[in-house]
Amino acid sequence: MTISSSLIAGVSGLNVNASRLATISDNIANSSTYGYKRAVAEFHSLVLNNGNGAYSAGGVRVSTYRDIDSSGPMITTGNATDLAVAGRGMLPVTQASALNNETGPLPMLLVSTGSFHPDSNGILKTESGLVLMGWPANADGTIPTYPRDTIDGLEPVSVDLNQFAGDPTTAIELGVNLPATETEAGESGEGLDLSIEYFGNLGTSESLDITFTPTVPGTGRSNEWTMAITDSALGGASVGEYTITFDDTRGSGGTIASITTVSGGAYDAATGELALTVGGGPLTLNIGKPGEPNGLTQLSGSFAPVAITKDGSPVGNLTSVEVDANGYVNAIYDIGFTRTIYQIPLVDVPNPNGLISLDNQAYSISPESGSFFLWQAGDGPSGEIIGFAREESTTDVAGELTQLIQTQRAYSSNAKIIQTVDEMLQETTNIKR
């Protein structure tokens, strides 16, 4: 009977509007929740087969989902490890309680934003217990190649292991003028000493001690020097000896003409570098290319170290941690040294709205979301990671209040249908009286 279908349709109308009211309530309640994605209720009509001119109401059903694919506005904060994603992708996290599980990989969850702080063990996590995950860097700050379709390689980001760091010296550039008059006949032939500080693998201060000894001829000028290099880290042992001849022709006078290796690492004329092996490992000493006025020169004047530059630093204390747009976690030390310690990838899925919603604005992978892929932030379809920022709720309070009014009226109208059907059925009952 069509009048009965009207009653059923009215009841279904009450049910779906009650569901919409629940989503509106949730959205308004979380209008100030960082990273909250608004819930959406969509109505779908139900149609019954009708015939012979009769019509039966099919009613309505509701489906709900979270609009995870949408993004809320960004706000700036004062915490370097407050992170948000500008664009597609989400941050990988895990539950702090899962860190005690020593069997199997850590379960991966996803968030679009988070305020991460180091705990007592130096692990970056939120107040709700979500731990930031990343790929650990090598000692030299490079990121190894990790699989992109599994969580293998992802680890909790820990800054406690990086409280102290030293950057060993691997390259020195030497700019020194040797007095041309010292290679003339009748000179003393005494060596000229130069000590260059460098930093070892443990941040210790070491020195390369270089002695330039001129070759004094019987007559004329030799334009030749012997450069002997010793290393304090090896107890003053020799790490190289070279014979250097300088050019005295017009246009190239004072520049290196040739270098002969007596002992130690070879000289590369293409780069101007000596390949030395010091106590901590390989070290390049750039003394200049033949024919170029950089590095070592021999001109009339005094013995003068013109320019000496080197990389490396002594041991420093960790002062802060920052995350750049590409997800690199950089540890900053009080000596001015910065080192990459992790890289945070962005997790992307084909259908973000198919993710399973969990507490604390976290999500997990589901068959509906599709398989995940780990992107370097800024590559492919992924967005960028923004430090000193949080993503606000996607709730538009004005829009939700508008829907609240519409839902209230729709609910009242469906209740009126039920009331009307009840009255009509009562009239039908009264016919036989």
Expressed as residue numbers, the domain containing 53 is 2-67+394-430
**Given pLDDT bands bounded at 50, 70 and 90, which one contains residue 428?**
confident
- Residue in the structure block whose two tokens are 């992802």: 154
Instruction: Kindly state the average pLDDT of the residues 254-278.
Output: 95
Q: What pLDDT, on a 0 to 100 scale, did the predictor assign at position 163?
A: 63
Whether residues 186 and 112 fall in one domain:
no
Using a pLDDT cut of 90, give the percent of the chain over it. 72
On whether the CB atoms of residues 286 and 175 are closer than 8 A, the answer is no
The pLDDT score that the predictor gives to residue 250 is 86
Reading the block at residue 153, the tokens are 């390689």
Q: What is the pLDDT of residues 357-369, one digit of tens each?
A: 999 999 999 999 9
Tell whether 373 and 403 lie within a shared domain: no
- Which of the listed ranges 2-11, 257-266, 308-317 does the model predict with the highest average pLDDT? 257-266
Residue position matching structure tokens 């390689």: 153
Cβ burial of 84 (10 Å; 0-12, 13-18, 19+) is buried
Pairwise CA distance, residues 128 & 111, whole Å = 12
- Are 216 and 159 found together in one domain? no
Mean pLDDT of the chain: 91
Question: Exposed/middle/buried for 238, CB within 10 Å: 0-12, 13-18, 19+?
Answer: middle
pLDDT score of 289 more than 70: yes
Domain boundary among 296, 311, 326: 311
CATH of the domain at 225: 2.60.98.20
User: Same domain, yes or no, for 294 and 336?
Assistant: no
Tell me what pLDDT residue 102 has. 66
pLDDT at 164 over 70: no
Cα–Cα dist 162/209, whole Å? 32
Tell me the pLDDT tens digit for each residue of 48-91. 877 777 777 878 999 999 999 999 999 999 999 999 999 999 99
**Do 157 and 41 have their domain in common?**
no
Predicted confidence at residue 1, as pLDDT, reads 54
- Residue 161 predicted with pLDDT over 70: no
**Residue 49, token pair as written in the block:** 């087969």
336 in the same domain as 425: no
- State residue 162's pLDDT score: 61
Backbone angles phi, psi at 369, to 5 degrees: -75, -25
Q: Is the CB of residue 91 less than 8 Å from the CB of residue 130?
A: no
Kindly report, residue by residue over 311-328, the tens digit of the pLDDT. 887 777 788 899 999 999
Domain stops at, among 259, 279, 311: 311
Are 110 and 56 in a shared domain? no
Q: Which of 85, 75, 64, 50 is nearest to 21 (CA)?
A: 64
> Domain boundary at 280, 311, 342, which?
311
The residue count for the chain: 433
Identify whether residues 138 and 106 lie together within a single domain. yes
Kindly state the average pLDDT of the residues 145-166. 84
Q: Check whether residue 123 and residue 249 sit in a common domain.
A: no
Confidence at residue 167, expressed as pLDDT on a 0 to 100 scale: 77
Considering the domain architecture, whether residues 276 and 371 belong to the same structural domain is answered as no
Q: Across 165-179, 316-330, 344-358, 405-419, which has the greatest mean pLDDT?
A: 344-358
Q: Are residues 200 and 304 in the same domain?
A: yes
Q: pLDDT grade, residue 281 (50/70/90)?
A: confident
- Average pLDDT in the 391-410 region? 95
C-beta separation of 178 from 121 below 8 A: no
Question: 377 and 250, same structural domain?
Answer: no
Q: Is the pLDDT of residue 221 over 70?
A: yes
* Region 332-348 average pLDDT: 89
pLDDT of the residue at 433: 62
pLDDT for residue 351 is more than 60 = yes
Q: Quick one: 420 exposed, middle or buried, by C-beta within 10 A (0-12, 13-18, 19+)?
A: middle
| Whether residue 126 has pLDDT greater than 90 | yes
Long-range contacts of 413-422 (CB under 8 A, 24+ apart): 413/13, 414/10, 414/11, 414/13, 414/14, 414/17, 415/10, 415/14, 417/6, 417/7, 417/9, 417/10, 417/13, 418/7, 418/10, 418/11, 418/14, 421/3, 421/6, 421/7, 421/10, 422/7
User: What local confidence, expressed as pLDDT, does residue 404 receive?
Assistant: 95
Task: Please state the rounded mean pLDDT for residues 125-142.
Answer: 93
Q: Which carries the bigger pLDDT value, residue 279 or residue 161?
A: 279
Which has more pLDDT, 290 or 334? 290
For the chain, what is the domain count? Answer: 3
% of the chain with per-residue pLDDT over 70: 97
